[in-house]
């Protein structure tokens, strides 16, 4: 069949089907076939908060938080993104102040609006930060006070936080924590977790994904608990670590570069015993003050000696 006839057939088929679908659906199909130019609107705002909490609630879009000073000013840059001009005014957010808590919250129906709002904020060192996103990545850099970060779909990255971090991905997304100085809580349903240069307790859980944790220092009071259902656990420990160790896997194997003193137990040296050595370890590293608990249901557990300390 000639190419010209094929083109006519395609156009006629689309025209015929358009009579059976709604105008809104036809518009969505048209916009997906014909590229539309993205429209942007940038808004700058300034708030005053000496001490307290910043809360950001975003339906769709990126959130970036960084600190730059010790004064009481919060600077906000909000960037609206859409391909439909009529959505720019509907993409809105509001700011409220109640009891030393500033809340910035988007105000639109995400089932009707296709656009998004990105938030970039520079905040004082002294305020706590709580972020909640339905769909979008969260990035936080050099914040001194506690962090509570949650997104349903998206990635979370935290760099050089000096206080407690609670990072949660409710559905799909990865978590990366760089150089935390305090306790880390990281949880995702489907995605990997990476923690570099930890210096305190670490609690990391993922249903489907790997966990990689590099501990720069393991205090005697610390607890490292890493749990995954289907991913590999890779734990890097300083050579002078002192911790009790419990590691268990059902379908993987356990290996360690570190020397482990296995706690005594009575067993015959048969095939069942050798299988147990590969899948279950209960022992100590050094003098055993801290606690390390590792569990991977369907994959391997690997313990390494951290070379860069």
Rounded Cα distance, 248 and 292, in Å: 11
Rounded Cα distance, 198 and 309, in Å: 11
Sign (positive/negative) of CA torsion 18, 24, 29, 31?
Answer: positive
Integer-rounded Cα Rg, in Å, for the chain is 26
The whole-number pLDDT of residue 50 equals: 79
The whole-number pLDDT of residue 23 equals: 47
Cβ within 8 Å of residue 114, ≥6 positions away = 82, 83, 84, 87
* DSSP three-state, residue 255: strand
Q: How far is CA 11 from the centre of its chain?
A: 45
How confident is the prediction along the chain (309 residues), in pLDDT tens digits per residue?
444 444 433 443 444 344 444 444 555 555 555 556 889 999 999 999 878 999 999 999 999 999 867 788 999 999 999 998 999 999 999 999 999 999 999 999 988 999 999 999 999 988 899 999 999 999 999 888 899 999 999 999 999 999 999 999 999 999 999 999 999 999 999 999 999 999 999 999 999 999 999 999 999 999 999 999 999 999 999 999 999 999 999 999 999 999 999 887 667 677 776 777 778 999 999 999 999 999 999 999 999 998 764
What DSSP string runs through 98-151?
ETTEEEEEE-S-TTT---EEEEEEEEETTSEEEEEEEES-EEEES--S-EEEEE
Cβ within 8 Å of residue 6, ≥6 positions away = none
Among the listed residues 258, 205, 259, the one whose alpha carbon sits nearest the alpha carbon of residue 233: 205
Specify the residue for token string 């000696």: 305
Token pair, residue 167, equals 């990072």
The whole-number pLDDT of residue 307 equals: 78
The whole-number pLDDT of residue 35 equals: 58
Other Cβ atoms within 10 Å of 290 Cβ, number = 22
Reported pTM: 0.85
The whole-number pLDDT of residue 268 equals: 63
Rounded Cα distance, 182 and 162, in Å: 6
The whole-number pLDDT of residue 15 equals: 41
The 8-class DSSP code of residue 188 comes to E
Other Cβ atoms within 10 Å of 118 Cβ, number = 19
Q: Where are the alpha helices (DSSP H) in 255-305?
A: 271-279
The 8-class DSSP code of residue 85 comes to G
The whole-number pLDDT of residue 308 equals: 63
* DSSP three-state, residue 207: strand
Contact 91, 108 (CB under 8 A): yes
Q: Rounding to the nearest 10 degrees, give the CA dihedral for residues 278, 281, 286, 289.
A: 160
The whole-number pLDDT of residue 8 equals: 39
Tell me whether strands 93-98 and 243-249 are parallel, antiparallel or unpaired.
unpaired
For the segment 76-111, what is each residue's pLDDT rounded down to a tens digit?
999 999 998 999 999 999 999 999 999 999 999 988
Burial environment of residue 86 by CB neighbours within 10 A (0 to 12, 13 to 18, 19 or more): exposed
Other Cβ atoms within 10 Å of 77 Cβ, number = 14
């Amino acid at each position: 069949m000639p190419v010209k006839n094929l083109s006519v057939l395609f156009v006629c088929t689309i025209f015929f089907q358009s009579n059976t679908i709604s105008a809104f659906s036809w518009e969505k199909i048209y916009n997906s076939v014909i590229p539309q130019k993205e429209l942007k609107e940038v808004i700058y705002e300034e708030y005053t908060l000496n001490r307290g909490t910043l809360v950001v609630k975003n339906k769709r879009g990126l959130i970036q938080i960084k600190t730059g000073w010790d004064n009481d000013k919060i600077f906000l840059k909000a960037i609206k993104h859409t391909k439909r001009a009529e959505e720019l005014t509907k993409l809105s957010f509001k700011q409220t102040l109640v009891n030393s808590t500033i809340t910035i919250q988007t105000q639109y129906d995400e089932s009707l609006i296709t656009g998004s709002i990105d938030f970039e904020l520079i905040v004082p060192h002294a305020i706590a930060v709580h972020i909640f996103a339905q769909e979008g990545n969260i990035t936080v850099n050099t914040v001194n006070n506690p962090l509570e970060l949650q997104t349903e779909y998206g990635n979370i990255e935290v760099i050089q936080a000096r206080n407690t971090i609670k990072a949660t991905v409710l559905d799909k997304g990865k978590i990366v924590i760089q150089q935390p100085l305090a306790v880390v809580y990281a949880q995702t349903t489907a995605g990997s977790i990476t923690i570099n240069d930890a210096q305190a307790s670490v609690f990391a859980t993922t249903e489907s994904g790997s966990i990689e944790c590099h501990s720069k220092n393991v205090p005697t009071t610390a607890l490292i608990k890493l749990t995954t259902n289907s991913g590999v656990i890779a734990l890097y420990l300083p050579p002078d670590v002192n911790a009790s160790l419990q590691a268990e896997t059902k379908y993987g194997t356990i290996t360690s570069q570190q020397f482990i003193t296995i706690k005594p137990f009575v067993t015959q040296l048969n095939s069942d015993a050798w299988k147990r050595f590969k899948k279950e370890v209960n022992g100590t590293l050094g003098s055993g003050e801290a606690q390390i608990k590792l569990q991977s249901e369907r994959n391997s557990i690997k313990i390494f000696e951290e070379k860069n300390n």
